[in-house]
Chain A
Amino acid sequence: MGKEKIDIKLIVVLTLIMIISALVLSFVYQATTPLIKEHAAQAKKEAILDVLPGAVKYEKLEKGGLELYQGLDKSGSPVGVAFQHEGNGFQGTIILMIGMDIENQKLLKVKILDQLDTPGLGARMAEQEFKGQFQGKSFSDNFVAKEDVDAIAGATISSQAVSDILKDAIATVEQAYSGGE
């Protein structure tokens, strides 16, 4: 059995490398997490104002258990409601910030907060050419890629994923509004 004896040095070295690696990573994680969260919060704030054209500030709004953001223009009158919603994309979770005009039953603007789809294909959802088509889209539309939604060439799944998230978001918000009254 002597030949099968494993050199103890191998185990020690590999274990040490793992421990050092784990220590370094947990240190880096601790040091960077607060900053990363701060950036995410900042990005969210900017996204809320971005999807509500005309809004200069916003206030949080609780409705039917949902967290909504009511945008206000310079004179303080409401310009629409922003809602963050997510769903599965082609490779990872897609997180959207959606501006809605509840009164006129239409979308104002959509912004992609996070997505992991293929660069050059699904990732093109963040381009104005694709996301711009949802501007002013009616709540009652079907949201089916290649029908009422122009799909990104070569990325039908990503295009449908975004449409599904939007459709779901509309249903969720509408339900919150009708249930809240």
Chain B
Amino acid sequence: MGVSNVLTLWKDFVKGLWKENPVFVMLLGMCPTLAVTNTATNGLAMGLATSFVLLGSGIVNSLVKKLIPDEVRIPSFIVIIATFVTIVDYSAKAYVPAIAESLKLFIPLIVVNCLILGRSESFASKQPVHRTIADALGMGIGFTWALTFLGIIREVIGFGTVFRGTSLAIQVMGDWFQPWLIMVLPAGAFLTLGTVLGVINYFKSRAVGVKVELQDSTGDSCHSI
């Protein structure tokens, strides 16, 4: 494999972490982002589960892309993703019940996650398998850290803790702190995400000084802000 190939793979991987971060830049997968980031643990679990499905369904969709006519691409992808998620669900329940138990609330949310369909549609359907894997890993990690980050903010303000309910649990705020219940409720998700996006965009626009046109790696414009 030549140097340029490695560089391409590296770029495919890295762009998901920040430049084209699925949550903070592309605003994909908003339902799980808003729904389950009320604690750091939930954000992390959702991120990892999504990454796994993103990788699996990306590989399958990249492999079968030539067999599927354009007109039925989206229904085909949805069926493939749903099948993959169901297989993961049953296998986890049968072979790793402890993990399945902690993930079962997230599984229904993964099926309808538009991040997975979005990456299948805009990347896996046009690129070879090895680039799809790099893209899925990058996007998965980008999604996971973003969700965990939102989860930490909401949990610290909403409960005064980080990673509560696990062995990593840390009490961040002292006894004087009155937890803000709203941060754990759905409204807190909008407040947190909106504030974080606002801060990110403020610094971005200051750095660039012009309107930012977002493009995905294939050159198609996703949308602009």
**Chain A residues engaging chain B, CB cutoff 8 angstroms:** 7, 9-10, 13-14, 17-18, 21, 24-25, 28-29, 31-33, 35-36, 39, 43, 116, 118-121, 123, 127, 153-154
Q: Is the CB of A119 within 8 A of B42?
A: yes
Known: A7-B71, A9-B69. A121 touches B90 (CB 8 A): no
* Cβ-defined contact, B80 with A35, below 8 A: no
How far is the CB of A110 from the nearest CB of chain B, in Å? 18
Q: How far is the CA of A120 from the CA of B67 in the complex (A)?
A: 43
Distance in angstroms between the alpha carbons of A24 and B82 in the assembled complex: 12
Contact of B195 with A by CB under 8 A? no
Measured as residues with beta carbon below 8 angstroms from the partner, the interface class of chain B is: 20 to 34
Q: List 10 A-B contacts (CB under 8 A).
A: A17-B80, A24-B83, A32-B94, A36-B93, A36-B94, A119-B38, A120-B36, A120-B39, A121-B38, A154-B185
Taking a contact as CB atoms closer than 8 A, the residue among A17, A29, A33, A121 that contacts B76 in the complex is A17
B84 to A: closest C-beta gap in Å: 9
B210 at the interface (CB under 8 A from A): no
List B contacts of A119 (CB < 8 A): 36, 38-39, 42, 105-106
- Checking B36, B39, B72, B165 against A10 with a beta-carbon cut-off of 8 angstroms, the contacting residue is B72
Q: Cβ of B197 < 8 Å from any Cβ of A?
A: no
Residue on A nearest B36 in the bound complex, by CB = A119
Chain B's closest residue to A22 (CB) is B83
A28 and B93 alpha carbons, distance in the complex (Å): 12
**Contact indicator B68/A21 (Cβ below 8 Å):** no
Are the CB atoms of A35 and B95 closer together than 8 Å? Answer: yes
Cross-chain contact B184 with A153 (CB below 8 angstroms)? yes
Whole-angstrom CA separation of A109 from B155 in the bound complex: 29
A153 CA to B178 CA, complexed, in Å: 13
Which residues of B67-125 are within 8 A (CB) of A?
67-69, 71-72, 75-76, 79-80, 82-83, 86-87, 90-91, 93-95, 97, 104-106
